[in-house]
Chain A
Amino acid sequence: MSEPVLEIRKLCVDYGLGDEAVHAVRDVDLTLHRGEVLGLAGESGSGKSTLAYGLTRLLPPPGVISGGEVIYHPVDGPPVDVLSLSPARLRDFRWAETSIVFQGAMNSLNPVHKVSTQLLDVIRAHEPGTTRAARLARARDLLRLVGIAADRLDSYPHQLSGGMRQRVMIAMALALEPQVVIMDEPTTALDVVMQRQILGQLAELRERLGFAVLFITHDLSLLVEFSDRIAIMYGGRIVEEAPAGELYRRALHPYTDGLLHSFPALRGPRRELTGIPGSPPDLRAMPTGCAFHPRCPRAFTPCDAELPLLGPPGDDDPGRAVACWLHPAAAAVPR
């Protein structure tokens, strides 16, 4: 496995302060390696988007980061502790090293400015030495990269279709050739044909440019196809992490298993569609022990009392990790 580019260690994100704080992300450890696609899946409210916004420090009030570390490894030079950057340094860091494609393709673009203005201002902010002509040339290249005619630079966002807007956002995300692109449900608002098209294009661009992707979605079927590794989140914690193929073939956590049985397989043997009974936990009143145990078909003695730690399930599964008492190597989270 290649070297890490983004390391998240024990990251905790809260909404609110003090006693009223809701713990939306708890003790998340996650490593993104150079050039890989890491999928992050879970139901809505599992904390996956909060994690993405938290590690980039873009969470609006009352969100706060209550602990942990986010380490970014540039291609050359010493590692960067993202959470301790001053606002000015954080501003320099953003987009140049990690860019984001947001959930709402419709609302990500400023409605009153032309596409060109919005592409150029980010280049100018980070590379003030460039000439306008050079920036404009770069903007044209970027649009061509995502398959949009360069004359669209003069369009306003409302003149573009949803798919085009999202492609403009992708072009913008690649403007400074970042090492990490975070994608938060980038295709959810699009129709299936457009989804395919954009994902295909994205895979191609990644081959060519070599950036790493943190791909967040509630649609596990998409990840199985598109990502190298998958992490599953539930109740603010990572419950399972594995290479995409292995996770699909043999899920270790009952929650992953439930997710996999929520969509039909495109290829291979037919599986029964069962889904997961119940609804995601209320973050203000989390169940004791493993957060999934009230919905878990296989819950047993320790599940409602002890919280299992994310760890390797056994010796025969390298590169996998799971937080479940069904797997003997699991250890309890120290209280």
Chain B
Amino acid sequence: MSIPTSSIEQVIPKQGAMAQPSAAARRRRWRFVANGKAATGLALVAGYLLLAVIGPWIAPYEPDARSNELLQPPSAQHWFGTTHLGQDVFSQILVGARGVMLVGLTAGVVATVLSVLVGVTAGYLGGLSDDTLSALSNVFLVIPALPLIIIVTSTITDAGDLVVALVIGLTSWAWGARVLRAQTLSLRRRDYVEAARATGESTWRIIGFEILPNLTAVIASGFVGTVIFAVMSEITLAFIGISSVSSWNWGTILFWAQSQQALAQGAWWWFVPAGLAIALLGTALALINFGIDEFVSPRLRSAGRARVRTADGHVVRMRVGFTPVLARPATLPPPRPRPEVVTPQRKEADR
């Protein structure tokens, strides 16, 4: 559940992918989808969204419906087996998708809006408001979020999906705010922003039209990161039995599996599908963020073919510092016998 440090923070202040808003940059924005990682991630997330919408309709059983087939391994009737009460795990997964996506996206939106408000304001206005807002976001960054979320939601009796989403959103905006503040600071000093200020454009117009469009990638990556965190937190809350157990999500399934000793009874089907569903969703979101990272920082893009055959017949990996020599023209005299390199020791002796 660690948050990988984004390279965006380190790379943007210097270079150009987002330096100037231009037609070419706008066109490049669409090329983002052509990135293999991003495309895979987007497709997977789209699949999850679809499940969130139609999941409850296509579920073969009611997730709460009990039957006499207790703790059955996967079969044609029950693809993912059944629980100790004979409930269909597959249906629970399908129905649970909605809660997971709803909470994840809501929390993501809340946190992103907050982080943009705090981060961009702090970065653009500077001075006292910057100090105050930075201190605020640093406090929220350092206080361990998950224990805080656990305590707050367990204090609120019968926290539903929406409450959980709000609590997560309100406690996890600080990371995004921090990155956005740094970016805004560097954008503020760019020539075209200075020019807009010199011509007397209003602060909010500059932020809305000159700065925000150039923060798109950073904001998007922050949003995706928060969604990952929100999904994990929500599932954690359900797993330790804090959020209400009446609605289904994948954490609830794991909660019942854990409390009914699914492990001791060898009922692997009870907890494996939910965990894989979470992991796949997390992977998909992480892939989108890799795509954004590579889009923003060209250095991270894989450089096409990594191996080449050189003139002396070896296959080498292309790397910094040793440019491969591919061929020598036929018009040149045949290569002479390998010459002796003057070694430093000999040179030293000359001195």
Contacts and interface: CB of A to CB of B under 8 A. Distances in A.
A75 interface: yes
A64 B339 contact: no
B329 interface: yes
A84 B335 contact: yes
27 contacts: A10-B329, A54-B323, A60-B321, A61-B318, A62-B318, A64-B323, A64-B326, A66-B326, A66-B327, A77-B340, A78-B340, A79-B336, A79-B339, A80-B340, A80-B342, A81-B335, A81-B336, A83-B325, A84-B335, A85-B341, A92-B344, A96-B342, A96-B344, A96-B347, A127-B344, A127-B348, A129-B345
Nearest to A87: B322
Contacts of B339: 77-81
B24 to A, nearest CB: 14
A287 interface: no
A289 interface: no
A63 interface: yes
Interface in B296-339: 303-306, 308, 311-312, 318-329, 331-332, 335-336, 338-339
B343 interface: yes
Contacts of A66: 326-327
Interface residues of A, number: 45
A45 to B, nearest CB: 15
B318 to A, nearest CB: 4
A93 B347 CA distance: 12
Interface in A43-79: 53-54, 57-69, 74-79
Contacts of B326: 14, 64-67
Contacts of A58: 321, 323
Q: Which secondary structure dominates chain B's binding surface?
A: loop
Interface of B: 303-306, 308, 311-312, 318-329, 331-332, 335-336, 338-345, 347-348, 350-351
B323 A59 contact: yes
Interface in A196-210: none
A231 to B, nearest CB: 20
Contacts of B342: 74-77, 80, 96-97
A85 B343 CA distance: 13
Interface of A: 9-10, 12, 14, 16-17, 20, 53-54, 57-69, 74-81, 83-85, 87, 89-90, 92-93, 96-97, 126-127, 129, 176-177
Contacts of B322: 57, 87, 90
Q: Which 9 A-B pairs have the closest CB atoms?
A: A61-B318, A59-B323, A126-B344, A57-B323, A74-B342, A78-B339, A65-B325, A83-B325, A67-B329
B278 to A, nearest CB: 37
A67 to B, nearest CB: 5
Contacts of A92: 341, 343-344
B341 A64 contact: no
Contacts of B308: 17, 64
Contact of A68 (B323, B329, B341, B345): B329
Contact of B305 (A17, A59, A74): A17
A176 B323 contact: no
B345 A61 contact: no
A64 B318 CA distance: 9
Contact of B325 (A62, A84, A97, A176): A84
Contacts of A68: 328-329, 332
Nearest to B306: A61
B327 to A, nearest CB: 5
Nearest to B319: A61
Nearest to B329: A67
Contacts of B305: 17
A10 B331 contact: yes
B301 to A, nearest CB: 11
Contact of A65 (B303, B324, B343): B324
